[in-house]
Amino acid sequence: MNMALARNKFVAKKGLLACGVSVLITLALGALGGLATFSSVATWYAQLNKPAFNPPNFVFGPVWTILYIIMALAAWRVWLQAEGADRRTALVLYAAQLVLNLGWSVIFFGLRQPAFALGEIIILFLAILATIGAFWRVDRLASLMMTPYAVWVAFASFLNFGIWRLN
């Protein structure tokens, strides 16, 4: 086996491992948010007045799972690019918005504070937009892959506002 082929196989294995790690980390943070959410969905959340556009509860789990996987794949694509300040900034912003995403679940469902959660989700949305911009400078497809997440969080922001307003 020549050295170039061996190196390509190593790089491919390293890339697949990084993909798995990206998906695992993103889904793990999503699962933590789910733990904060789970205890309130059937009790506190069920009793809230909700806007007419509130989806049924069964929609949220699959949508978030799909979004988390797409987000993780986008971050992985950025990670695969050449090292540098743009890549580092993009991945730091990605990590920050993941933490903010978890924070929203804890504030809204865990602490049952829709007003504070509304402020937090606005910050989350801005962090997502910053991440999309940073991803664009590194990998345009990765940036586009984050767009459905931004749209969903925008929708969730309006939903959060509606719940806060009605309660």
The enclosing domain of 22 has a CATH number of: 1.20.1260.100
**Residue 18: predicted pLDDT:** 84
* pLDDT tier for residue 20 given thresholds of 50, 70 and 90: confident
State pTM to two decimals. Answer: 0.90
* Residue 84 φ/ψ, nearest 5 degrees: 165, 175
Structural domain of 91: 3-166
- Would you say residue 7 has pLDDT above 50? no
pLDDT digits (tens, 9 = 90+) for 72-125: 999 999 999 989 999 999 999 999 999 999 999 999 999 999 999 999 999 999
- The residue among 125 and 16 whose pLDDT is bigger is 125
**Residue 154: predicted pLDDT:** 98
138 closest CA partner among 96, 80, 92, 68: 80
- Would you say residue 1 has pLDDT above 70? no
- Would you say residue 5 has pLDDT above 50? no
| Average model confidence (pLDDT) across the chain | 92
* pLDDT tier for residue 163 given thresholds of 50, 70 and 90: very high
* pLDDT tier for residue 4 given thresholds of 50, 70 and 90: very low
| Angle separating helix axes 85-105 and 114-138, nearest 10 degrees | 160
- Would you say residue 71 has pLDDT above 90? yes
**Residue 10: predicted pLDDT:** 44
First to last CA, the chain: 68
Mean pLDDT over 134-156 rounds to 98
Give the residue carrying structure tokens 């170039």: 4
* pLDDT tier for residue 21 given thresholds of 50, 70 and 90: confident
Residue type, 112: R
* Number of domains observed in the structure of the chain: 1
Tell me, letter by letter, the H, E, C secondary structure of the chain. Answer: CCHHHHHHHHHHHHHHHHHHHHHHHHHHHHHHHHHHHHHHHHHHHHHCCCCCCCCCHHHHHHHHHHHHHHHHHHHHHHHHCCCCHHHHHHHHHHHHHHHHHHHHHHHHHHCCCHHHHHHHHHHHHHHHHHHHHHHHHHCHHHHHHCHHHHHHHHHHHHHHHHHHHHC
- In sequence order, which residues have a C-beta less than 8 Å from that of residue 89 and are 6 or more positions away? 134
